[in-house]
Amino acid sequence: MACGKTPQTKIPAYGWQGEGGNTTEQTLQADFSKWKSHGLDGICYNAGHDVEKHQRAAKVAKANGMEYHAWIPAMLHGGMDSTIYAVNRLGQSAYHTQAYVSYYKFLCPNREEVYQFLTSLYGKVADIPEVDYVHFDYIRFVDVILARGLWDKYGLVMNEEYPVADYCYCDKCVSDFKTATGIDIKSFDDPSSCAEWAQFRCDLITRLVNRITDDIHAKGKKVSAAVFPGPDSYAKKMVRQEWNKWNIDAYFPMNYNDFYLEGPEWVGRVTKEGVTALNGKAPVYSGLFICHDWQNKSSIEDPEGHGLIPSEIETAVRASMENGAAGVCLFTPHSMTDDHWATFEKAIHQSYVSN
Site residues (vs Zn ion, CB under 5 A): 108, 110, 168, 170, 173
Contact 322, 49 (CB under 8 A): no
CB of 236 to Zn ion, least distance (A): 18
State the nearest-atom distance from the C-beta of 106 to Zn ion, in Å: 10
Using alpha carbons, select from 198, 193, 184 the residue that is nearest to residue 238.
198
Nearer to Zn ion, 192 or 276 (CB): 192
Shortest Å, Cβ 156 to Zn ion: 24
Pick between residue 13 and residue 170 the one whose CB is nearest to Zn ion: 170
Nearest distance in Å: CB 213, Zn ion: 21
Closer by beta carbon to Zn ion, 171 or else 265: 171
Q: From the CB of 246, what's the least distance to Zn ion, in Å?
A: 20
Residue 226 pairs in a beta bridge with: 252
Query: CB of residue 117 vs Zn ion: minimum separation in angstroms?
Result: 15
Measured from the CB atom, is 168 or 275 closer to Zn ion? 168
Q: Report in angstroms the alpha-carbon separations of 181 from 123, 174, 194.
A: 34, 11, 11
b vs e for 3-28, b when ≥16 Cβ sit within 10 Å of the residue's Cβ?
Answer: eeeeeeeebbbbbbbebeeeeeeeeb
Nearer to Zn ion among residue 166 and residue 242 (C-beta):
166
CB of 85 to Zn ion, least distance (A): 8
Bridge-based pairing state of the strands 133-137 and 250-253 = unpaired
Strands laid side by side in the 13-18 sheet: 250-253, 222-227, 133-137, 67-73, 42-46, 13-18, 327-331, 285-289
Using the minimum distance from each CB to Zn ion, give the nearer residue, 107 or 348. 107
Contact 136, 211 (CB under 8 A): no
Q: How far apart are CA 252 and CA 267, in angstroms?
A: 12
* Contact present, 51 and 125 (Cβ < 8 Å): yes
Question: Which C-beta is closer to Zn ion: that of 168 or that of 282?
Answer: 168
> Which residue type occupies 241?
Q
**In whole angstroms, what is the distance from residue 71 CA to residue 125 CA?**
10
For residues 82 and 194, what is the distance between their CA atoms, to the nearest angstrom?
28
Nearer to Zn ion, 170 or 321 (CB): 170
Nearer to Zn ion, 125 or 173 (CB): 173
Host H or E run for residue 321: helix 310-322
Strand partners, 329: 14, 287
Angstrom distance (rounded) from CA 192 to CA 267: 28
